[in-house]
Amino acid sequence: MLFVLKAALSGILIALVAGVSRRYPAAGALIASLPLISVLGMVWLWLEKPDRQLMETHVGATFWYILPSLPMFLLIPLCLRHGMNFWLALACGCLLTVVLYVLLATLGARWGLKL
């Protein structure tokens, strides 16, 4: 039952962002930029297993994984502005993010960052 509730609430948030964005792109972007999924993930994790150490590790890793995803939000509009097809621009943004994730994991391990 909890899984169904989590899935429904998460789906509603995604639908809300899409619906608002159709009419008000900036407002939709604002809602999408809020860490709603991260906060929900923390709430679900805490309700299922209230462990401070687990939460500390989860939230810390979330911070580090957000950073390599940010350039995607610059690359996609740049590609679109230069006439690239949406699906190709999205693929380029996702590929950049994967490359930056791998780079973060590699360099992070060398710097003692535990992800």
pLDDT per residue as tens digits for the range 62-81: 999 999 999 999 999 999 99
Angle at which helices 86-110 and 52-66 cross, to 10°: 120
**What pLDDT is stored for residue 86 in this prediction?**
98
Per the structure, the complete domain to which residue 33 belongs is given by 1-50
Average pLDDT score over the chain: 92
Residues 60 and 96 in one domain: yes
Q: What is the spatial distance between Cα 77 and Cα 84, in angstroms, rounded to a whole number? A: 9
Number of structural domains in the chain:
2
Beta carbons within 8 Å of 37's beta carbon, 6+ residues apart = 10, 13
Q: With 80 as the cut, is the pLDDT of residue 115 above it? A: no
On whether both 59 and 88 belong to a single domain, the answer is yes
Question: CB under 8 Å to 100, separation ≥6 — which residues?
Answer: 68, 69, 71
Contact 64, 115 (CB under 8 A): yes
Tell me, yes or no, whether 56 and 46 share the same domain.
no
Q: Are residues 40 and 72 in the same domain?
A: no
**Residue 58 banded pLDDT, cuts 50, 70, 90:** very high
- Give yes or no: residues 21 and 76 share one domain: no
pTM of the model: 0.76
In this predicted structure, the answer to whether residue 59 has a pLDDT above a threshold of 80 is: yes
